[in-house]
Structure 1
Amino acid sequence: MATRDTGTEQLIKDTAKRVFFAEGRLHATTQDIADAAGVNRTLVNYYFRSKDSLIKQVYEDGMNDLSARLMQVMETDRPFKEKIEDFIDVFMADSMEYPYQETFLITEMNTRGNIYHKDNMSEKVEMFSRQIQAEMDAGRLEKMNPIHFSINMFSMLIYPLIMKPMYKQFYNLDEDQFNKLMLERKEMTCNMLFKM
Structure 2
Amino acid sequence: MIETPAEAEVGLRERKRRATSRSIQFAVLELAAERGLDQVTVDEISRAANVSPRTFFNYFPSKESAMMGENALVEAPALIEEFVAAGPQGDVFDGLLELIQKMALLGTGDRELHQLRRSVLKEYPQLFAVKVAGMRSFEGVLAEAVERRSGADAADGDVSSRSRLIAMLAITTMRHAWVRWAENDDSGSLADNLQASFHMLRTTL
Q: If the length of structure 1 is used for normalisation, what is the TM-score?
A: 0.48
Q: For the pair shown, which has the larger CA radius of gyration, 1 or 2?
A: 1
Higher relative contact order (CA 8 A, sep 6+): 1
